[in-house]
A and B are shown apart, each in its own frame.
Chain A
Amino acid sequence: MNTSGSNIAIYGAIAANILIAISKFIAAFFTGSSAMLAEGIHSAVDTGNGLLLLLGVKRSSRKPDAQHPFGYGKEVYFWSFVVSMLVFSVGGGFAMYEGVHAFQHPTPNEDPVWSYSVLFAALLFEGTALYISLRTFNKNRTSKSLLKSIAQSKDAATFAVVIEDSAAVIGLAIAIMGTFLSQHFGNPYFDAGASILIGLLLLLVATFLAHESKNLLLGESADKSVITKINSLLRENKFVEKWNVPLTMHFGPDNILFTVELDLKDSLSLEESQEVIAQIRKDIKGKEPRIGRVFIHSKDLEK
C-alpha cells in the first residue's frame, strides 16, 4: 500500500533530476562553463540516488529464505542509508569543494542569464517533485511537525526523497540569492559563499537521513498508536488475563514483526487456548494489516 506511494515520490525525484541535469548540460554547452558541467554531473548522481531507492524498494519484496527467514524488508532502509552517504560525500563534499575553489579563483560572472534560467528551471522541477513527495508522505503523517513525522516514519524511501527534495529547493534558493548578490554588488565571493552554505546544508540533511535510516536498520518498534490498538484488543478479550508489553520491529513500512507474552484464563483447556490464540492472531492482523508475523507466547505471568 505505501510502496506504490513511495514509488511515485521516487519517480518524481528521478524525473526532476533528469530534467535539471539536462538544463545544466545545455547551459554548460552554450556558456562553456566547467562549473555548470560539474553541476550537471552532480544532478546525474542525484538521479542515481533515486534509482538506488527504487532498487531498495524492489529488492525488499523478495520472499524470505533459509538465510533470511524474516525476509528482505530492510533493503529499503539499507539503500536509504547508502543514499545518505552519497548525499553527504558527493552532494555536500562537492558543493564545499566548488565553494572553496570559487573563493580561491573568483571569476566575475559576466552574463547571469544562463545561471538564472537554469536555477529557476531547476526550482520549478524540484518544487514539483517536492510537492509530489510531500503529498505522498502526508498521507501517513503522524505529527504536525515535519521533522517529528520523519523521525517517526518507517517509510525510509519516501522520507529520503522528501529530505533530498527539500534540501535541493532550499539549496536552489540560496544559489539564486548568491547569484543575485554577486551581480548586485559585483562581488564574486557571494557566489562562493552560497556554494559553501549549500554544502553545509547537504552535510546536515545527509546526517539526519543517515541517523534515521540507521535506527530503522537496527530495528525500530511500531508506533505507539499500533501498540495502543493491540492493547485495547487484548483488553477486550475475556480469555486474556494479563500480558507483557508487546515487542515489535519494522522490517519495512508495511511489514511489522509482533511478539507478545500473555497469560490466559486458567480454566481453559489446551485446545480452547489454541483456538483463542489463533483468534487473537487473526484479530491482530485484521486490526493492523501491516503486522505480517504474530507470535504469542502463552505464559503464567503470576510473578
Chain B
Amino acid sequence: MAGGSNLAIYGAIGANILIAAAKFIGASITGSSAMMAEGIHSMVDTGNGLLLLLGIKRSKQEPDKMHPFGYGKEVYFWSFVVSMLIFAIGGGFAIYEGIHALQNPSIATDATINYIVLGAAVLFEGTALFIALRTFNKSRKGSRNLIKNIVKSKDAATFAVIIEDSAALIGLLIALLGTFLSQQLQNPYMDGGASILIGLVLLTVASFLARESKGLLLGESAGEEVLKEVDLILKENEFIQSWNLPQSMHFGPSNILMVLEIDLIDGLELGKAEQIVAQLRENIQKKIPVIDQIFVHVTQLEE
C-alpha cells in the first residue's frame, strides 16, 4: 500500500518538475513575468510532493518512549501541511495574480507559447493523475463516488496527490479557456478572471484536504469492513459470550490500533482464558494484517 502511494507521489513530482521546466522556458522566450511566477508556483508544488514523501519516510520510525504507538501519523501531519501550502501559496497566489491582471489588463499579442506551455502541462498533469487514480482505485472498495471514497480513505498521501492533480488539471483547463476567450473576444479581463477562478478552485480543494487530514490526525476509526470482519471473528469464537463495540484508530493507511472488551463464557481456567485471548489476537492479526496493535480486555459485561 505504501509502495502504491509512493508511485503516485513520484508521478506528481515528475509532472511538476516537467511543468516548471516548461513554464521557465516559456518565460525566457516571452519575457513574461506571470509565466515566471507560474514556474515558481510549480516548483512549490514539487516541494509538496517531497513533503509527502518525507511524511511516508518518517512514519516508518520505530516507536520510542515518547511515542509508544509509533510515528504513523506523520503521513497525516504532512498531508495537512501540504493542504495549508496549497491554500496559501496555490490559492492565494492565483487570486493575487488574477487581481493584478484585472488592474493591468492586457492581451498577449501571440498566445502560441501560452498554448504550448498549457498543453504540455495538461499532458504531464493528466499522466500524473492517471497514475495516482490507478493507485487509489486498487484499494477502492464499494462506493463508486470518488469524493466518498476519499472521505473514507485512510491513505492521506495518495488522496492528497489525487486532489492536487485533479485541481491542477481543472485549473489548466480554466487557464486554456481564459486564454482562448481573451484572444477570441479581445477582452483583456478574461485572463484575470480565469486566474481568480483557479484560485477559488485551489482554496476549495485545499480546505477539503485540510478537513480530511485533520480528521485522521485527531484519530479516525477503522472502516466498516474491518469492524465487520472483527465482529465475524468474535461471533465465530465459541468461548466469547459478548463484547463491546471495538474501539480503533488509524495511525496510518495500514496501521490500526484496536482495543476490545470481551466477556468469556463462565467456568474457564485462567490459563485457558489467556490461551483463548492469545489465539484471538493472533487470529485477528492474521486475517486483518492492518490491525498491528491489539489489546483484549477480558471483563464482566452486563447483558
Contacts and interface: CB of A to CB of B under 8 A. Distances in A.
Interface stretch (A1-9, A62-70, A98-106, A135-143): A62-70
A78 B217 contact: yes
A89 B87 CA distance: 13
Interface of A: 66-72, 74-75, 78, 85, 89, 214-215, 217-221, 245, 247-249, 251, 259, 261, 264, 266, 268-274, 277-278, 293-300
A295 B270 CA distance: 18
Contacts of A294: 297
A interface SS class: mixed
Nearest to B70: A219
B88 interface: yes
A138 B77 CA distance: 30
A14 B214 CA distance: 25
Given A217-B77, A218-B77, A296-B297, A270 B264 contact: yes
A218 B297 contact: no
Interface of B: 65-71, 73-74, 77, 84, 88, 214-215, 217-221, 245, 247-249, 251, 259, 261, 264, 266-275, 277-278, 293, 295-300
A219 B273 CA distance: 32
Q: Which of B219, B273, B275, B277 has the most CB of A within 10 A?
A: B219
Given A78-B214, A266-B270, A69 B68 contact: no
Given A218-B67, A296-B295, 8 more contacts: A69-B247, A221-B66, A247-B68, A270-B264, A293-B259, A297-B296, A297-B297, A298-B298
A70 B278 contact: no
A74 B218 contact: yes
28 contacts: A67-B220, A68-B220, A68-B221, A69-B247, A70-B219, A70-B249, A75-B218, A89-B88, A217-B77, A218-B71, A218-B74, A219-B67, A219-B69, A220-B66, A245-B68, A249-B68, A268-B270, A270-B268, A270-B270, A270-B273, A272-B270, A274-B299, A293-B247, A295-B295, A295-B297, A296-B297, A298-B274, A299-B277
A221 B259 contact: no
A259 B259 contact: yes
A78 B295 contact: no
7 shortest A-B CB distances, which residue pairs? A69-B247, A247-B68, A295-B295, A270-B268, A297-B295, A295-B259, A295-B297
A277 B74 contact: no
A227 B247 CA distance: 23
A30 B265 CA distance: 81
Which of A215, A270, A277, A300 gathers the greatest number of chain B CB atoms within 10 Å? A270
Given A270-B273, A296-B297, A217 B217 contact: yes
A71 B219 CA distance: 8
Contacts of A268: 270
Given A218-B77, A274-B300, A295-B297, A300 B219 contact: no
A221 B273 contact: no
A268 B274 CA distance: 12
B248 A69 contact: yes
A67 to B, nearest CB: 6
B69 to A, nearest CB: 5
B299 A278 contact: yes
Most chain B CB neighbours (cut-off 10 Å) among A70, A220, A264, A296: A70
Contacts of B264: 270
A221 B68 contact: yes
Contacts of A215: 66-67
Given A218-B73, A220-B67, A298-B298, A264 B270 contact: yes
A296 B262 CA distance: 11
B46 to A, nearest CB: 21
Given A68-B219, A74-B219, A217-B217, A248 B68 contact: yes
Contacts of B293: 247
A270 B277 CA distance: 12
Contacts of A274: 298-300
Nearest to B58: A218
Contacts of A218: 67, 71, 73-74, 77
A69 B298 contact: no
Residue of B264, B268, B273 ringed by the most chain A CB atoms within 10 A: B273
A282 B74 CA distance: 34
Contacts of A293: 247, 259
Contacts of B259: 259, 293, 295
Contacts of B267: 270
A269 B300 CA distance: 14
Contacts of A214: 77
A171 to B, nearest CB: 23
A271 B219 contact: no
Nearest to A301: B274
A221 B217 contact: no
Nearest to B281: A297
B65 A221 contact: yes
